Amino acid sequence: MGHDNLPTLELAFPGPERDRGVAAILSGQKTALTGLLEIYEHAGEAVPVTGQRFRVLDSEGRPAVTIELVDVRVVPMKEIDDDFARAEGRGYSDVAEWRTAHEEFFRSDGVSEYLGHTPVIDGDTPVVAERFRVVEPDDSGGP
């Protein structure tokens, strides 16, 4: 399948947070990501599977890079460890920093507006923990 036919992936919301995430993937710092299972359920989307590829979009909706999932697990937040937290490539020194940032994001106005309520976020909240590898940078949208 050509990369034009791949599903797309958008990190966070358009803007600085997404741009930092895309830059971290391109630099090799980010090799993991976490999604709130409730968001997948609300969207009617299946949880991604190992081996699946995505075109990661930048804030302007342009393809920035293609990734392939190498591990996907649905786990309670309390099962995320320091290694996974650091693999998120956001500068987290440990899982406590990761958890604080993810709790804030999952309770943010944008997520609450999308879901129609503020989700309950605690150690038992199921998240989709994904590890990936870069397949190829996507420069088709560049000048």
Q: Which residue has the higher pLDDT, 136 or 78?
A: 78
What is the rounded average pLDDT of the residues 56-84?
96
pLDDT of res. 141: 44
Mean pLDDT of the chain: 91
| Dist. CA 82–CA 49, nearest whole Å | 23
143 pLDDT band, cuts 50/70/90, is: very low
What is the rounded average pLDDT of the residues 21-50?
95
Quick one: tokens of 140? 């088709």
Residue 132 · residue 22 · CB < 8 Å: no
Task: Tally Cβ neighbours within 10 Å of residue 45.
Answer: 11
133 pLDDT band, cuts 50/70/90, is: very high
* pLDDT over 90 percentage in the chain: 85
What is the rounded average pLDDT of the residues 11-37?
93
pLDDT tens digits, 103-126: 999 999 999 999 999 999 999 999
